[in-house]
Amino acid sequence: MNLATARSRIKARLNYTDTDLDAEIDSVVRELITQELELEPELPWFLLSEEAEANTTIGDDRLAVPTDFLREYEYGALWLKESDGTLTALPKYEMDVLVRELTGSGKPRAYALTGKYFRLYPVPDQQYTVRMVYYKRSAALNADADTNEWLTEVPWLVVAGAARIIAEQYLRDGPLADRLQAEYQRARMRLMVADEARRNANMRMEMGD
């Protein structure tokens, strides 16, 4: 589904045919995604990035987070790539713990996340490659033909959520807004159940011998 199709389906939910709210509908779709769905405590699988790599700077504990970074992946975020290509997981601690416990320079053994930087300690004594997996922002929706991860994977969620906001804030139709809110909550629950099932399917809790 692209932005134009989403707008059309939102208007169908509202039984609204005029074009005077088209710009507001597009704005609500964008804000629903960036200001609500992508700020949820748990994020869905389709926002996970491909594995990315970045290089450290000698003498600098900072490693900039990617520009599309939303949040770390809860099942592992940073790995140090060894010279032989193997990966060593870097555990996460509070910044004060790293400063106190991992002083000096050397091969990074742990990290903290502060602002727009991963902070690696000990401070890198040479250039190291860090591999990362993270939740990323979805693609922007600016033109009618634009689509993104939300409109591809869970279009019904975006349509119901945006229609609910338009009904409440622009059309002032409380009963319709309530029905759309119920539809939106059901769609969110379906997404949560599907995401949980995907995470746990065929999962082994411990490595075997």
Q: For 121-167, what is each residue's pLDDT tens digit?
A: 999 999 999 999 999 999 999 999 999 999 999 999 999 999 999 99
Identify the band that residue 207 occupies on the pLDDT scale cut at 50, 70 and 90.
low
* Gap between the Cα atoms of 121 and 53, Å rounded: 18
Q: What is the pTM of this model?
A: 0.88
Identify the band that residue 181 occupies on the pLDDT scale cut at 50, 70 and 90. Answer: very high
**Under 8 Å between Cβ of 176 and 167:** yes
